[in-house]
Amino acid sequence: MTGWGATQQAVEHFLETHEEKLSFENARSIFLSGLIIHNALKNDYFLRPDNGDEPFETSRLDMLIANSSGIFSLTEHRYVQSFSRFYAYGAGADYALGAMFGSYDDKNKSAKDIARLGVTAAAEFHDGTSLPMHCYSTKLK
């Protein structure tokens, strides 16, 4: 997740206490889960709506979801996109994408290794990105 720290904590708490309501299996289910999360942020965690010049209210948070169904993004406006190999969000995303692209074809590197390279490169070269990182992996079905 990237965005406001308080929003990240609220989403983490919501996910811990309401996982039975959510599905992240495909773009449509992620979109619907994004609506549930945004509604909870407003009603239970007091997210202040701010329309400004935006067409939709923002959750002020972007999420990258990687699971056995694929790699997806859920943006602050609840737009869902699917990626075929890898992706990165946040201030150092350009550095992370470059590092992951450069190592993606290395057969000796796992997906977790490539993700770690991306975060490490972002932390090294972007002053708005720092360590530590938490990296998890899952077995594909």
pLDDT tier, 67 (very low <50, low <70, confident <90, very high otherwise):
confident
Question: How much is the average pLDDT of 34-57?
Answer: 81
SS3 readout for 22-62: CCCCCHHHHHHHHHHHHHHHHHCCCCCCCCCCCCCCCCCEE
Residue 26 has which token pair?
């495909």
Dihedral Cα 125, 119, 94, 82, nearest 10 deg: 180
Q: How many beta carbons lie within 10 A of that of residue 121, not counting itself?
A: 22
Residue 124 has which token pair?
């090294």
Q: What angle do CA 9, 15, 17 make, to 5 degrees?
A: 105
Comparing 28-32, 48-52, 126-130, the range with the smallest average pLDDT is 48-52
Bridge partner residues of 2 (DSSP): 62
**pLDDT score for 54:** 66
> Tens of pLDDT along 103-133?
999 999 999 999 999 999 999 999 988 899 9
Are the beta carbons of 82 and 27 closer than 8 angstroms? Answer: yes
Residue 127 has which token pair?
């002053």
**pLDDT score for 95:** 97
Q: Which residue has the tokens 């965690």?
A: 45
pLDDT tier, 51 (very low <50, low <70, confident <90, very high otherwise):
low
Comparing 47-51, 65-69, 106-110, 119-123, the range with the smallest average pLDDT is 47-51
Classify 63 in phi/psi space as left (phi over 0), alpha (psi -120 to 50) or beta.
Answer: beta
